[in-house]
Amino acid sequence: MSHGKNGQEPLVRGPITPGEVAPDFELPAIPDGGEPFSVRLRDLVGDGRVLLVFYQDDGMPICTSELRAFAQEFETLRAAGVKVFGINTNGIGSHAKFQERDHFPFPLISDFYGEAVRAYGFWDPVERKSRRGVVVIGRDGRVEFVLPHFNPGSIAAFEGVFRALGLLGD
């Protein structure tokens, strides 16, 4: 990890913006009831879009609500060729317990060192973990849509994600 002057935390970028090339990553993930496996973004984007749901902590009420919102619409997303992943800085063991408890129909990616979280601009330097947000990555590997600070209680925010995916009319 690179540090700024005097060993301080590096500068924190704002959330990635539409049109940018999505930073590639290779990280461990765990599906519901399955074994951990490696996820490489470059292997996912060619045959469909990718929806990354950044969240703060496994098991926290608002984060659980955030992931449940996408779990409820998982079949619609899958039918549209969208691959959904939750991602944060919790370890794979924490993710496994969270999956055991809540049974999300999509894998949870462990970005333990926060490299992808930082690259996508969702790092919270005060809390030292991910912020909430949603990123849609197109088949070409470019960011199509970003919703920073996703609020799972906001119907408008949720509709915005589905509109960006072309799953909701204007």
125: in domain: yes
pLDDT of 10: 52
- Beta strand 133-137 pairing with 82-88: unpaired
pLDDT of 4: 42
Ordered mean pLDDT values, 10 residues apiece, the chain (170 residues): 45 86 97 95 91 95 92 94 97 97 97 96 93 95 93 86 83
pLDDT of 12: 67
Report the alpha-carbon distance of residue 79 to residue 101 in Å, rounded: 25
158: in domain: yes
Place of tokens 């912020």: 131
Asked whether 95 and 117 are in contact (CB, 8 A), the reply is: no
- pTM value is 0.91
Helix (H, G, I), strand (E, B) or coil at 93: helix
41: in domain: yes
Report the alpha-carbon distance of residue 55 to residue 64 in Å, rounded: 9
Number of domains in the chain: 1
DSSP string, 4-39: -GGGPPPPPPPPP-TTSBPPP-EEEEE-TTS--EEE
CATH number at residue 51: 3.40.30.10
119: in domain: yes
141: in domain: yes
5: in domain: no
Q: Range of 41's domain? A: 18-164
pLDDT of 47: 83
54: in domain: yes
pLDDT of 5: 42
10: in domain: no
